Amino acid sequence: MNPKLKSIIINIVLFAVVVFLAIKVVQSIKAPIDFGNEKSRRETQVVQRLKDIRDAEIQFKQAHNRYTSNFDSLIDFCKNYEIPIVMMVPDPEDTTFTKTINDTLGYVKVIDSLFGKRTQFNINDLGIVPFSDPTAKFEIHDSIIKRGGIAVPVFEVKTPYEVYLATPGEKFTEKEWNTRVMNVKAEMEQIDKYAGLKVGSLEEASTDGNWEKL
């Protein structure tokens, strides 16, 4: 083979190897970022749904002095139960003008009070985990715990990573995606944290979401 031609071929091969390695390096850097972005995008919607459930549960407790672990009951409550619209006004019998009384102006359904300003809101989807495929519902539980001898209602709603991260992001193969989901799950379990998103607790009187404690 012509030495000059041989040299050209070698240079072309070396260039191709360098380009291939460069692409692999870029991919190794971008992959965690792409996964994190897609995970955050999905979690934004899951967290909003958990906040909606929490708001509905709080209203349910105010009406019934307990929480519920049944989404059908919670949805029916939001659709049909009415809460008073209250305005604080000066007490007409108070000559010091320092006291107020509650004046009930009317009643409004829970769904309108909580979600009336939300466009494209569907109360029937309240229990469904966004991005779940196949469609899955949040795990929901309620209970009573004792604190200082007093019975305290509690609730917990949660969903693991595997549910809302079930389908791969468009930039990933199924194998790559599942590996990253399992890795982030293992990281949370190593520090004894729930590998997913949840709100409330069955062990303490809290309505916090675990995303608020990260």
Of residues 29 and 159, more confidence is placed in 159
Sheet of 150-160: strand order equals 139-147, 150-160, 196-200
Taking only the tens place, the pLDDT of each residue in 75-120 is: 999 999 998 877 666 666 656 656 666 666 778 899 999 999 998 8
Band (21; pLDDT cuts 50, 70, 90): very low
Whether residue 23 is contained in a domain is answered as no
Task: Please state the domain count of the chain.
Answer: 1
pLDDT at 19 over 70: no
Whether residue 170 is contained in a domain is answered as yes
Whether residue 120 is contained in a domain is answered as yes
Whether residue 25 is contained in a domain is answered as no
Taking only the tens place, the pLDDT of each residue in 140-157 is: 999 999 988 899 999 999
Mean pLDDT of all residues in 186-190: 94
Torsion of CA 210, 200, 74, 77, to 10 degrees: -110
Band (195; pLDDT cuts 50, 70, 90): very high
Whether residue 5 is contained in a domain is answered as no
Band (4; pLDDT cuts 50, 70, 90): low
Domain that residue 100 falls in: 39-212
Global pTM reads 0.81
Helix, strand, coil percent content, the chain, rounded in steps of 5: 50, 20, 30
Whether residue 137 is contained in a domain is answered as yes
